[in-house]
Structure 1
Amino acid sequence: MEQEYWMMYFDGSLKKTGGGAGLVFISPLGMRLRYMVCLHFPASNNVAEYEALGNGLHIAIELGIRRLDIRGDSQLVIDQVMKESSYHDPKMTPYCHAVRQLKDKFDGLKLNHVKRRFNEAADELAKAASGWRPVPAGVFVSNMHKPSVCYEELGEAGNEPPVPDLEADPSDPEVMEIDADPAEGADPLPDWRAPYVDYLIHESLPTDKMEARRVACRAKSFIIIDQELYKRSHTGNLQRCIPSEEGRSPLQDIHAEACGHHAAPRTLVGNAFRQGFY
């Protein structure tokens, strides 16, 4: 029996406070999954749209979805992906290339333009992500601190755009740079978990207003179990949060020891996520 199509609505938003992406998945049985992605880097409205589409495809792959009916209200993005429109902004080239690369991951993929009034659910999530609003109940939230593609050096006109690393976990593409051999006597790194633990247990926030809003927004995806901090991934799995110092050990195991892996940093960290660490 042929597998039925899931539906995915996507939208991007850009405000003075930042960029954001919203995603709504609807299963053939009517189950809904909602996602917000906060963009913490300079972005245009079209970049936000592409980040929404790209993150949505990665999430669909992680969920094991094989047939997907994608709907968005950005005519430009859809036309570019469908090869019906040219690129006036060179930054769009690697984004479009990355989206097309994921097509083979599906047995069936549709991409359709819809009017904005039919995309309100994804639009509201995107606006919430870009405006640092409280995360609605039942919504998965993630943060991006750098673009999912590399468009800093596109080369000469007509050259192929750089191929992005597409294997990192879409739940949080931020990469933490880790010095594998830190200098002796260096100050220990602060525990990044502390603000979230303080907020979840004591409802205490940092004194800096922007940092307080960031912690309060991100804390929605964390939970305390037996005095341990865990993060809910976009697939609903719990990842045990570990300090930066402790994180070196699993990264080194994945990279150099039994697994012998020579992957890019984002892929390496993505593999650690899939082992249940964050």
Structure 2
Amino acid sequence: MTEYSVHLISRLYPLRYLFNRPALVGRLMRWLVLLTKFDIHYVTQKSIRGSIVVDHLASLPISDDRAIDDDFPDEDVAIVTSLSGWHMYFDGIANHSGYRIGVLLISSHGDQIPRFVRLAFLDRYPATNNIVEYETYILGLETALELGIRQMEVFGDSNMVLRHIQGEWNTRDVKLRPYHAYLELLVGRFDDLRYTHLPRAYNQFVDALATLASMIDIPTDTVVRHLLIESRSVPTYCCLIDEAEFDDGLPWYHDIYQFLRLGAYLEAATAKDKRALRQLTTRFMICGETLYRRSADGMLLLCLDRTSVDRVMREVHAGVYGPHMGEHMLTCKIMRTNYFWLTMETDCCQFV
């Protein structure tokens, strides 16, 4: 490769950063020095979505006299609508600890009712995977009937149970016939039931419930409260910032500036505080009368005080060229614009 000019086509942004950054230090510079003996030109890979259809048509050519049928293959599929009301998801699992089944009922308002059961009758009545799937489906129907549900759409990854209950396949296994007869009695108590085969990848929550039941051993006298799963959109430290912070009118970098300019510490500073300040100031420098912070790649970032922070965030986020990016991207964008302050990430999270 040393005798040729190489065009590196890639969408790896760290490589683009390595080849295009004007100033590099440390390990990045050592990597770039090792690559200088090769004539490498980085080229950003374009989107390949537009060429997928062209490649597919090129691989399946047709003759000029062949008519192209562009009709929809089954127009009845286009008018199928989802049953408004309750949805049921079911799944079972088997491992060295035994058999576990899980059911999830979802109302039209999005309320979720999970239920999972451990099958403890295996010593007297040997079970198979198909029996476990029937037990799971029956558990879901019984739970729905207890709640007074008479219309429901059923989703499951057991194609066998769904085919049997719809009459498409015959139940030939002797051990499954009692289950099938009882299942037909339960189905007859519903006004409307619809079935949809769901791949396992889209049935993860119920699969997790069944796995949870197989991993833990709950004593008989233990009461398990409702399972609460929360979702957090921002890191914890962004939610616990004390807004009533003491403001003495000085910028956040006042101590750093005074130490770099005069070598002075605060009057009440302890030995630990002085050591921390000396370590902190290694990344800062004064040019003229302005304080800068040296980034990891050697670029100088202008340190901003509180009066300029809001204006910079608003301009970068929603200014003339502002793309209204997320909080973490906004932090990186401001640093690429060569600005810095200590609480950048927290302030950007709160701003966005």
More helix by share: 2
Greater relative contact order (Cα < 8 A, sep 6+): 1
Aligning the two structures, in what range does the TM-score lie when normalised by the shorter sequence?
0.3 to 0.5
Task: State the TM-score, normalized to the length of structure 1.
Answer: 0.47
Larger Rg: 2
Task: State the TM-score, normalized to the length of structure 2.
Answer: 0.38
